[in-house]
Each structure stands twice: as C-alpha cells, then as structure tokens.
Structure 1
Amino acid sequence: MIANKNITFKNILFIVTISALFISCSEKTVAVSLDNGGSSWKKMHLVIKSIPETKFSDKIYNVNDFGAVADGKTLNTIAFEKAIHKCAADGGGQVLVPNGKYLTGAIHLESNVNLHLEDNAEILFSINPKDYPIVHTSWEGTEVMNYSPLIYAKNKTNVAITGKGILNGQADSTNWWIWSGGKNYGWKKGIPSQNDPTNREVLVDMAEKGVPVAERVFGDGRYLRPNFIEFFECNTVLVKDVTVINSPFWILHPIKTNNMIIDGVTVNSHGPNNDGCDPEYSQNILIKNCTFNTGDDCIAIKSGRDADGRRVAIPSKNIIVQNCKMIDGHGGVVIGSEISAGVNNVFVENCVMDSPNLDRAIRIKTNSKRGGIIEDIFVRNLEVGTVKECVLKLNMFYNVYGSQTGNFIPTIRNVSLENITVKNGGKYSVWAEGYAQSPVENITLKNVKIQKVDSLYLLKNVKNIKFIDTYVNNKKVESVK
C-alpha cells in the first residue's frame, strides 16, 4: 500500500528509470544496447575512460644485481624471483631486464611491479616442464591445477610487462607443441599427448561432475601445455610494446581480470592453439595497436567451457579492439568457443585483416554444450584483404572434439558491421546458422563492400538480417531471399 497519495505512476516510473540508469553506469560496467544513433560507440569511449592506468615508483631493480646472467644458458629463475620480491616489498617499481638473453623458468609477478625489457633484451623460457610449478590456472576454458603459465600473476593489482624486448617461449615440434597430438607438430603414434584418455577429457569430465578445482590436479604426465602470459583475478594491468614468440599454448590470457590495456604488442607464434589474446571472464579490456600472426585465432574472447563456465557465471564484457593488424589465424576477432557464461559489449574498429592463411574476419562459435548469450557486437572501419572462408561467421553448431550437442541452446543477437571493405571474402560474405527455437537475430551490414566472394551468404534460422548500402561482387544487396 502506498502511504503518500501524491505519488503518481509517472513518479514511480521516473524513479525506476533513474535507478536503472545508475546501476547500468556503475564503475565496473557500462551497459550497451544496439541502436542506429551511434550512442553505443559513445559508450565505448566511456568504457575506455573508466579503465585506470598503471602507476609505478621510479625505483629500478636490475635483475643482474640479483644474480641474473645474460648468456642464454644460465637458469635465472631465482634471480628474477628475488628482484620481483624485493621490488614489491619496497612498494613497487620497475624490474629491469637489460639487453641480453636470459633463460628462466616461470616468472610470477607481484602487485606494483613493472617487468620492463630493454630493446635488445630477450627472455628465453625453459622447455623443461619441471621449471613450471603447479598453480591454479585454466586450460581451454576449464579451471585446473596445472603447470604455471610462463608469466603468471594471481590476485595482483597495478602490474605490467613493458618494453620492446622479446619474450620467447622456445616452443616447437620437439617440445611443447608435440603434446598437442597434431601430426603437423611432430606427434606420431605412440607419443603421449593431451589427447590420451587420462588427460584432456578427464579434466572436462571432472568439471561436468563438479569436482572442486583444488582436486583437479594435473601437471606431470598429463601433457596439458601451459599458457604464456596469464593474469588471473587481477586488476589494473598493462602489457605494452613487447614481442611474444613461440608460445606453448594460448599467449595473452586475462582470466577473471578487469581493467587491462594491451598496447603495441606483437605476437608471432604459429603453434597449435596459439591464440594471440584470450580475454576470459574479464571486463574492461582494451587491445590496441597490436599485431597478431598466429597458429589459431588472433583474438578469441572466452567465458568458460560447458559446466565450468556456468559454475563461474562471469560474462566477458566491454572488450575493445582498436587499430590492430591480423595476419595468419583461424579468425581475426573471434568469440568462443569456450563461451558458456556469455559475452556482450564487444567493440572492434580500425583494424586491418589480410592473409591467405586467415580463415575469417569476424567469427562467433558456440554449440548446445556451450550455450551462452552472445550479444551486442559492434564492428566498424575494417580493411580486409583476403580471408579464406568468409567475412562474418556466426555458428551455433561448432564441433571440433567429437559430439558437441547438449541441452544448452545458445543465443546470438545484435551484431553490427559498418564501413567494411573486403577484396576477397572467400566462400561467403555471411555464414550464419542458428536453431529454429533460437535463431541468429538482428544482424546488420551497413556500407560493406566486398569485391569478390563465391556466394552471397549461407543462412539457416536467421531472423532480421539487414544489408544497408552493401555491395557484394559489385552488386547492391537489396534483400534476403
């Protein structure tokens, strides 16, 4: 019962509206809706402005002063550890890696530490699995106790990796890559790999059964390769200017991390599952001025696999990609397939994508085991040279590891491409497949020009797709038949 009779329905509606706006513009997230007025892109700029920048003390801790030897042979794990711990204990600053080659095992970062590489510095990471202790990490979207990532930070704030030096994982077909079980990477029958019955599928089964992460202990004898750079449950992170090569597995992996800037990074790594950057369960991630030349997806936005993703239930949101170059890869900017907690508010602009070894420009991949709601994806101002398969692919039937069907029907909606030029789009301009009960919805291509493509589109269970001022093979696309 309302005590004050002067309160009208309009008053109540106004209060509710203001409350909703206040919630949607909270510090952690900025809500975005698909529209035609450009307000979504304005909100992208609000997200960028909301991301705090890292700040460090001027104090410098040279790893050579802690016993590091730049001969490319001496194992410097302890020297790096001492320098990082001293820097953190003193309130933070820069841990300096001078010019030269430094061999090390896992590097674990601390809050308020900037690991800085001089221009001609190269960190060579050991290929001995024993140099990577077991930590709480994630593997293909499933949390696990496994080999430490080569560079790892957990529950840290204000942390960075900077400088124009090289981070070299030294992975090739004689060590980490052979664990993939791929014949192209040195594997032959009789060699153990991640595909053995006691390895990858056991981990997935543990997650399905709800086994606590602390009891999912892998590592030695399980052949699950470590990620390269992982920030786990961190806040206010910067990775700037470094070059990353020869990764065992995923390369840049922010997981459950908020407020991260990846700027001017070059990734050149053509191994199996060598995704360039995989934001997972993460928010407010800005990826700009980077170059990706990879053996898998250039950028792949994730939110957990199957039951594990639904357990964590943190969608990735406010992911921004600007002024990047994508060369080889399965996709330029990809969402999925480990996507069970959903993804929303993705912005991609001013990127160049071009290689005969780049399969797609923009891709969303999920299935009825993954589920998830993927919505509000905005792409503009792309220059696409050549892609093999298609410009835009939206697939609810992704299937790469055998049967991938279940009871979790996904949702894909609100995808906009604007101001895109393509020289060779491969097989299709748009390839979109949904379910009858959950069609792919609200797809807009505006001012898209594709000079050459085999077929206009392949559409199955798609609702409300619009072509506005869009030309394919020099013909204006008037409507969808």
Structure 2
Amino acid sequence: MTDDTAGRRLAEAIRARVAPPGFPDREFPVTRYGARGDGRTDCTAAFRRAIADCHRAGGGHVTVTAGTYATGAVHLLSNVDLHLESGATLAFSRDPAAYLPVVLSRFQGVECYNYSAFVYAHGQENIAVTGSGTLDGQADETHWWPWSGQEEFGWRPGVREQEDDWPALWRQAERGVPVEERVYGDGFRFRPNFIETYHCRNVLIEGVTIVRSPMWEIHPVLCRNVLVQDVTIDSPGPNNDGIDPESCRDVVIRRCDIYAGDDCIAIKSGREADGRRVNVPSENILIEDCDLRHRYGAITLGSDMTGGVRGVVALNCRIGGPGLYFGLYIKTNSVRGGFAENIHLDGITVSHLTKEFLTCDFHRGEGDTGGYPPRVGGIDVRNVTVDSARRALLARGYAHAPISGLHLTDCTFAGIAEADRLEHVLGLVRENVRLP
C-alpha cells in the first residue's frame, strides 16, 4: 500500500510557507502622474514615475482606474502592488522598441539578455499585480506571433523567426559564454514573456485577466514564495504557456482558469548546459482548484527541466477539452537530463483528452542521444476520474534508466481507446484502478 496522505501533507506544508506580501495602505494613482485611460496616450513614463514614488515612500499600491492605458514595459520595484481596478486595461505596445533596453531573462531555459517582459522585476521583494482588470498583450497574427515560425500564427516563408536565432544562443550556452555576452533583443526574434519575475521573493499575481500574450504568460524564475491565484488566462497563441515557474521554490497556483496555446502549467528548471550551470531545481509547488482547458499538457514537467523538479502536488483540478492533449506530461530525455520525483496528483477530474492522461516518453525528441539519463520516479496518482482519453498511460523509459515508482490508486478511466504503452517501467502499482 502507498501512503495516501503524503501528497496532502506536502500540500499543507507548502501552504503554510507561502503567504502573500503585505503593502502599506498608500495609493499612488497613475492618473496623478499623467496617465490617461483613453487608449492612445503613452502612459509608460507615468507608470514608471508612480512605481518609483511608491517604492521610495516605502511601498503601497499603484492604482489603475477604469480605462484603457497604452504602455510599454512596466518594471516593478520592491514593496509595490500594481493594482488594476474593475474596468482597467493595460494595452501593451506592439512596438518591440517599447521593451528595450534588454534585461536578464531566460529564453527556452537559457539565460540571456532579451526584450523586457511586459511586466518585469529583477531582484525585488514584496511585489504584486492584483485586481480585476485586464492585461492585454495585443499579440496576434500580425504582431509578435509570426516570430514563432508557425504559419498558423501569421509566419510566412522568408520572414525571420525565432528558430533562425535560437542556434546561436544554444551554442553560446554550450560553450559557456558568459551570460552578459548573450545579448539579443533588437533585430532578433525572441518573443518576450508577459509577466516575468527574476530572482524575486514574495510575489503575488492575483485576480487579473491576461489575454493575447506574445509568449509565456506568467514566468517566475529563481523566485521564492510565489502565489498566483484567481487569475484568468485566455491566450491561445504559439508557445503561450499559462504559468511556468522555473527554478523556483515554494509556489502556490490556486483557482486559476487557463486556456493557453501551449502547456497550461509547465514546471521548468533550465535547459541542458545552462541548466547544469545554474543547477537550481523547481521544488515545493502546489497546484489546486484550477481549470486547465487547452492545449498540450495540463500539468507539465519540462521540457526545460535539466535542474530537476521535486515536490509537486496537484489537488482538486478540472482538466480537459477538445483541444487538450495530456493530463500529466513529463518531458525529458538523455539530452535534457534532470529528475522528477515526489509528484502527487489527487482529486483530478478529466473530461476529455486527445492523448494520454499521463505521458512520460524518454524517446521523444532527441531520443537517447545524450549523456545525461534522466531520473523519473515517485509519482503518486489517486482519486482521478477520466471520461475520455486515447490511453491512461504512456510511459517509456530507457533500459539503462527506467521510470520507477509509478502508483495509481482509486482511479477510474472511461472512454479509453487504446491499451497502455509501457516500456522500461519498474514498480508500477495499480490499486483499485478501473479501466473499460
């Protein structure tokens, strides 16, 4: 018998540590600094001044009243809550120059200097984006999305796209070129993320709606104590992951509704040589009471997981839709390496998946061509109901590095089209699992 309380005990421990930052009861309305919610006036400087004044005063709330505020990059500082009131929309510029100068970022798991995220913070403490307003990235088939190289999203042959630039960054990382020399941004095609907090502590993203992002929506990197709750994401563009904690510790993602153009929640920890250089795992991450509805993995570990992932709990989530592929999707191989351990899913309801409820296939992508065999084990799945999927399980390890310790308890799978596909899996346990 497996321990039926381990996941919930880990969840309680994470909840006890993760708390929202507090802010002084001071308001700094952006309209006081010249911002106008007319959808035309460039409010970038007004946001910058309001945030700077709030920070210098010891913190508080930079408030945005109803209206549409045109802006470029917004950079948060310690002890500042950017608060969008009902009816407030931040409409982010489509001009790439509005996100210069470049800032420290990660692009596909590799550190570099790139366009600023639309909302960005580096090395700050006690920061927040809250309220019931909307963050609109204004990306579409004519702006930002064509850089993906996907014709579905506006790219056309002969137009420069991110895969034209990616090999140069990858080679720099493999050769150990200092991060300060990996400068991209202007003239390159690495799309910025929407919200990125880098090396920050005590981060809160709450209540807002995010639409039309260039790329990933919420991307905390190397952060501690992160709370994302009651957020709505509706952005089905290319590589539009919903929430991607990367090399973070103590994260809670709660009551979020995610309709994304890629993985809904993807837990990451750096990629290949750069992931081994930084070598910081993602750990102690709780996902609870979320709706995950589109497109690839509902809950994904990887594929940039070279630094490893441990201590993940997903509780009482609703998964599924006609465009969603996987429930739990673990992506790695002997090129990426890393590990995934102490993973718990409990109380998951799945309506419809195009592919497997759980997929972990080491042979995906580059196959077994690297020197860093991954370690995947200690995966506990219980109280799961699946109405429709291609398979319950697709798990393919290597003969020299099998997947181990996969336990399913009190699970019901209906509408399964094909039998499980299992290769080099050790210690698979099924207790009270019902299949058609």
TM-score, normalising length from structure 1? Answer: 0.89
What amino acid maps onto 1:192 in structure 2? Answer: R
Shift of 1:394: 1.1
Q: How do 1:3-402 and structure 2 match up within 5 A?
A: 36-133=3-100, 134-196=102-164, 199-399=165-365
Q: Which runs of 5 or more structure 1 residues have no equivalent in the other structure?
A: 1-33, 474-481
Shift of 1:37: 4.5
Shift of 1:397: 2.4
Given that 1:305 and 1:339 are in contact with CA atoms closer than 8 Å, whether structure 2 keeps it comes out as yes
For residues 106-133 of structure 1, what are the alpha-carbon distances to aligned partners after superposition, in whole Å with 9 as ceiling and x for unaligned?
A: 0000000000001100000001000002
> More displaced, 128-137 or 45-54?
45-54
What amino acid maps onto 1:416 in structure 2? Answer: D
What amino acid maps onto 2:80 in structure 1? Answer: V
Q: Secondary structure at the match of 2:146?
A: helix
In 1, Cα distance between the equivalents of 2:325 and 2:319? 10
Given that 1:413 and 1:440 are in contact with CA atoms closer than 8 Å, whether structure 2 keeps it comes out as yes
Given that 2:362 and 2:368 are in contact with CA atoms closer than 8 Å, whether structure 1 keeps it comes out as no
In 2, Cα distance between the equivalents of 1:301 and 1:163? 25
Shift of 1:43: 2.8
Given that 1:100 and 1:120 are in contact with CA atoms closer than 8 Å, whether structure 2 keeps it comes out as yes
Q: Secondary structure at the match of 1:456?
A: coil
In 1, Cα distance between the equivalents of 2:368 and 2:261? 23
Given that 2:259 and 2:292 are in contact with CA atoms closer than 8 Å, whether structure 1 keeps it comes out as yes
Q: Secondary structure at the match of 1:334?
A: strand
In 2, Cα distance between the equivalents of 1:73 and 1:37? 56
Inter-CA distance 381–37: structure 2 relative to 1 (3 Å threshold): closer
Q: Match for 1:448 among 408, 411, 420? A: 411
Inter-CA distance 267–374: structure 2 relative to 1 (3 Å threshold): same
What amino acid maps onto 1:203 in structure 2? Answer: L
What amino acid maps onto 2:376 in structure 1? Answer: I
Q: Match for 1:464 among 427, 431, 434? A: 427
For residues 142-196 of structure 1, what are the alpha-carbon distances to aligned partners after superposition, in whole Å with 9 as ceiling and x for unaligned?
A: 0010000000011111110000100000001101000011011111111111121
> More displaced, 108-117 or 388-397?
388-397
What amino acid maps onto 2:400 in structure 1? Answer: Q
In 2, Cα distance between the equivalents of 1:404 and 1:65? 59
For residues 183-235 of structure 1, what are the alpha-carbon distances to aligned partners after superposition, in whole Å with 9 as ceiling and x for unaligned?
A: 11111111111121xx1111011000000110000011110000110010000
How many pairs does the alignment contain?
A: 435
Q: Match for 1:429 among 386, 392, 410? A: 392
Q: Which runs of 5 or more structure 2 residues have no equivalent in the other structure?
A: none
In 1, Cα distance between the equivalents of 2:391 and 2:187? 43
Shift of 1:74: 1.3
TM-score, normalising length from structure 2? Answer: 0.98
In 1, Cα distance between the equivalents of 2:364 and 2:64? 43
Given that 2:14 and 2:252 are in contact with CA atoms closer than 8 Å, whether structure 1 keeps it comes out as no
Inter-CA distance 359–458: structure 2 relative to 1 (3 Å threshold): same
1:476 corresponds to: none
Shift of 1:35: 5.0
What amino acid maps onto 2:144 in structure 1? Answer: W
Task: Point out 4+ residue stretches in structure 1 off by more than 2 angstroms.
Answer: 402-405
In 1, Cα distance between the equivalents of 2:205 and 2:2? 33
What amino acid maps onto 1:419 in structure 2? Answer: N
For residues 26-45 of structure 1, what are the alpha-carbon distances to aligned partners after superposition, in whole Å with 9 as ceiling and x for unaligned?
A: xxxxxxxx951413421320
In 2, Cα distance between the equivalents of 1:35 and 1:112? 44
What amino acid maps onto 1:97 in structure 2? Answer: V
In 2, Cα distance between the equivalents of 1:35 and 1:86? 54
Q: Secondary structure at the match of 1:442?
A: strand
In 1, Cα distance between the equivalents of 2:6 and 2:395? 26
Shift of 1:404: 7.7
What amino acid maps onto 1:51 in structure 2? Answer: V
Shift of 1:50: 1.3
Given that 2:10 and 2:313 are in contact with CA atoms closer than 8 Å, whether structure 1 keeps it comes out as no
For residues 265-292 of structure 1, what are the alpha-carbon distances to aligned partners after superposition, in whole Å with 9 as ceiling and x for unaligned?
A: 0000011110000000001000000000
1:31 corresponds to: none
In 1, Cα distance between the equivalents of 2:105 and 2:4? 41
Inter-CA distance 381–403: structure 2 relative to 1 (3 Å threshold): closer
In 1, Cα distance between the equivalents of 2:341 and 2:414? 28
Given that 2:7 and 2:313 are in contact with CA atoms closer than 8 Å, whether structure 1 keeps it comes out as no
Q: Secondary structure at the match of 2:316?
A: strand
Given that 1:365 and 1:397 are in contact with CA atoms closer than 8 Å, whether structure 2 keeps it comes out as no
Q: Secondary structure at the match of 1:244?
A: strand
Shift of 1:456: 2.7
In 2, Cα distance between the equivalents of 1:418 and 1:124? 42
Shift of 1:53: 2.5
